[in-house]
Amino acid sequence: MTKRTVYMDHAATTPVDPRVMEAMLPYFTERYGNASSVYRLGQEARKAIDGARADVAQILNCTPREIIFTSCGSESDNLAIRGIAFLNQGKGNHIITSSIEHHAVGHTCEQLEKHFGFQVTYLPVDKYGRVDPADVEKAITDKTILITIMYANNEVGTIEPIAQIGEIARAHKIPFHTDAVQAGGALDLDVEALNVDLLSLSAHKFYGPKGVGVLYLRRGVRLLPTQTGGAHELNRRAGTENVAGIVGLATALKLAQEHREENNRRLIALRDRLIEGILSSIPDTQLTGHPKERLPNNASFTINYVEGEGMLLGLDMMGIAASSGSACTSASLEPSHVLLAMGIPPEVAHGSLRLTLGHENGGEDVDYLLEVLPGIVERLRSMSPLYTAAS
């Protein structure tokens, strides 16, 4: 077996597409103007930002004024949640979210609860990680000022019933935010069809650069800026614009959405081969997330009697980059809050493995993974007292 280099962690980040890179490069060198400057160099930068804004707006089916460029998905989530919460304190203090959100949403809600007197409902999910829209409706009170539920989960890939939740939010006249960071390159982003009022995106998840994001804010919905200073982004987000990054984001989003169907078809075929291969070759293994309503590139599992960390190291030694749903890497040995919310016991949740495919992966990468993973799991299990006791 020849050792290869295989990247299967596209939910963490993606390489920048060469076409995106090419579009960005002039804005680092000859077109380096500040978009707020009146002279030609500045106005060139302004034009580039305006063009990018129009492109993003077209994809989201909104107007350019409804697009706010930010520095990342986390900032978009923070601006949406804090911005709505702080402006509406007079109306109410209740926020509805789910128990499987990314920390950019979850920790923001927790901080509002702990330090600013807000009350947050963390809705449960079913065993596939789906929020029930009926639970959203039941949780609404006359103090609810925001509902924030993610479009697709970053660990298990489950797609949430956003349009249905949006309908409920609209009927109750409550602003609805969705964290679409994992959905950006793979799912439909039409904000009218989705019934959303705020939506977050991050370029580095769809072959754009790191450090640039979008917050869509529906006309008529107001928020309190969290970053104050100049009048950038129509007074909603101060700070000199990241011109190259914004151009890169728009180019990457256009490419991703233009080729969405063909890319998804290819990825789904690879993903399903990966899922079937792993489930059939490794005993005591379960698919996590929804069997059908899942991101085209996400294959995630729990593998009993092994630690996710051990598998990652074993795979890395074979040149494969993968991820574990658990937060073990950040020194806390807590299993993933997402898997726990799905009712998976902690000892099983410790053995999670997330493989997320992308443009560079082909069938030979899937074959290679299927060739090496069973041996890695077998070796780890042979050292596990729990496995010995169970077998």
233 scored as a contact of ligand PLP (CB under 6 A)? no
| Given 67, 72, 147, 169, the residue binding ligand PLP (CB under 6 A) | 72
Using the contact rule CB under 6 A, the part of the chain among 19-27, 60-68, 179-187, 257-265 near ligand PLP is: 179-187
Using the contact rule CB under 6 A, the part of the chain among 126-134, 174-182, 240-248, 323-331 near ligand PLP is: 174-182
Among candidate residues 231, 253, 213, the one with its CA nearest the CA of residue 102:
213
At position 272, the amino acid (one-letter code) is D
CA–CA dist 40, 156 (Å, integer): 48
Angle between helices 308-317 and 363-382 (to 10 degrees): 130
> Using CA of residue 389, residue 385, residue 372, residue 349, what is the dihedral sign?
positive
51: Cβ contacts below 8 Å, ≥ 6 apart: 247, 250
Smallest gap from residue 217 Cβ to ligand PLP (A) = 17
249 scored as a contact of ligand PLP (CB under 6 A)? no
335 scored as a contact of ligand PLP (CB under 6 A)? no
74 scored as a contact of ligand PLP (CB under 6 A)? yes
Binding residue count for ligand PLP, defined by CB under 6 A = 13
* Structure token digits, residue 228: 């104050």
Annotated active-site positions, please? Answer: 328
178 scored as a contact of ligand PLP (CB under 6 A)? no
User: Which is closer to ligand PLP, CB of 125 or CB of 306?
Assistant: 125
102 scored as a contact of ligand PLP (CB under 6 A)? yes
* Structure token digits, residue 276: 């079937």
* Structure token digits, residue 125: 């999910």
CA–CA dist 349, 358 (Å, integer): 25
242 scored as a contact of ligand PLP (CB under 6 A)? no
Smallest gap from residue 176 Cβ to ligand PLP (A) = 16
Region 114-173 residues binding ligand PLP, contact defined as CB under 6 A = 150, 154
CA–CA dist 337, 325 (Å, integer): 9
97 scored as a contact of ligand PLP (CB under 6 A)? no
Region 206-225 residues binding ligand PLP, contact defined as CB under 6 A = 213
Report yes or no: 233 and 282 within 8 Å, Cβ to Cβ: no
Angle at the Cα of 100 from the Cα atoms of 358 and 304, rounded to 5 degrees: 70
Smallest gap from residue 304 Cβ to ligand PLP (A) = 26
- State the residues that interact with ligand PLP by CB under 6 A: 72-74, 77, 102, 104, 150, 154, 179, 181-182, 202, 213
